[in-house]
Structures are given as C-alpha cells and as structure tokens.
A = this chain, B = another copy of it.
C-alpha cells in the first residue's frame, strides 16, 4: 500500500508469529499491543462473523475514537455504531483468489461512512487504492452483493457443471472459453432477454429431450433439475 501513498502502520493480527514467517516484510502487530492512546483507521479484512468480535477487542484497548472500516458486501454497518461512532465500509467488488495479482484499478470500490469526516477518510483511502470508487448507500451495497453472489458464486457453480461434463467425456474444457467470454460480453452490452438464444428460447423440444436423456443416463440429477429450472425460466419470459 506504500506505493499508493497510504501510510500503513501495521497489520493487526491475533498471533503475529503465525504470519511473520510467511511474510517477513510485513509489519504485523499483535491485537493486544496496539498503542492505547493511538487514534487510527482500522480496515477490517476479516469474515463477516468475525467483525463484531474484533470490535469488542479493539474497544477493550480504549480505541473508541478510532475509525473502523469493514470490507464486507453484506455486513450491517449500523451494528458497529454502538462501539465506534466513526465507521463505514470499503467494499471492493471482486473475488479474491490466491496466487493471482489483483489489479485494483480495474475493480470498482464502493464506500460509505457514518458521518462526512469518516466518509472522507474512507474516500481518501479508496481513491489511493483504485480509480473506480463509488459512494453507495448501505442498502445498495447489499443489493450489489446479492448480484455478485448470482454472478460469481452461482456463475462458478453453473460453469462447473459444464466443466465436470467436459472432463468426464475427455473434452478439453478450454474449448468453451471463447463462448463463456462472449456470453459475458453480450449480456453487459444488451438486455439478457434480447441476448437469449438456445433450445429453451426457440422451444426446440427434441433437443431439450435429448439433453435430459443424456443427464438422466449419466445420473446427473442436480444438473438435470438445473436444466429444467433454467429452461422453464427462459420459456416463461418468452411466452
């Protein structure tokens, strides 16, 4: 973060020893060794269900004047206010995978704060991290997170069905990559309804039947239910 002009005072963790060996160049600080009087901005990069516990510990060290920022899509920010008046969120809309550098400039970051001072602090940090920063309300951030679940979590699982079928039949899955990329390109260019093609859309019953037969034969029951559900949804909207 130093190359972005952000002064990182330390990475607060429960047990620095666990991390120091892995990342010897990072300034880890034990949570019970934060200087008591220090006012700082804490960015909480932890799972949703660990946020409140972390606030509990911070407040024990008399840090209630500090600013706390969570990075969650769905966490309820208001539940932080009894602990820290200055609170907010910095939500980078991307899926993070190990072993892959993240280009923060390509990632939209959504921010909000409990008051204008806090918002400005968070905006400053976000604008140094990336250049695609948007102020967004608590409720819209949660809706965005729901959309992200459909696109990333469910999208991964959907593509996984094709991946498993291709693998089992010894068909290289990468054959399907240009199609997947085009699918994304098109749905972000026009409405999904006008982009829709395929047997379900054109009511090609014999192809649908052949696909269902295949899935039944292979014992792919969940995949068959998925096929029926999508086919129904596509047909429902094209009546």
Residues of A within 8 A of B (CB): 47-49, 74, 93-95, 97, 100, 106-108, 134, 140, 142-144, 146-166, 169, 171, 173-184, 186-188, 191-193, 195-202, 204, 206-207, 210-211, 214, 222, 225-227, 229-230, 232-234, 236
Contacts and interface: CB of A to CB of B under 8 A. Distances in A.
Copies of this chain held together in the complex: 2
Nearest to A49: B204
Contact of A187 (B151, B163, B169, B195): B163
A211 to B, nearest CB: 5
Which 3 pairs from chain A and chain B are nearest by CB?
A160-B192, A153-B198, A147-B162
B199 A149 contact: yes
Contacts of A171: 140, 143-144, 147
A188 B106 CA distance: 20
Given A160-B193, A233-B157, A149 B93 contact: no
B106 A178 contact: yes
A183 B157 contact: no
Given A95-B179, A182-B95, A151 B159 contact: yes
Contacts of A150: 158-159, 161-162, 165, 226-227
B157 A196 contact: yes
Contact of A151 (B153, B162, B188): B162
Given A95-B179, A155-B155, A180-B187, 11 more contacts: A134-B175, A143-B166, A146-B214, A147-B165, A147-B166, A153-B198, A156-B183, A156-B195, A163-B191, A164-B192, A180-B184
Contacts of A230: 153-154, 157-158
B229 A233 contact: no
A95 to B, nearest CB: 6
B210 A142 contact: yes
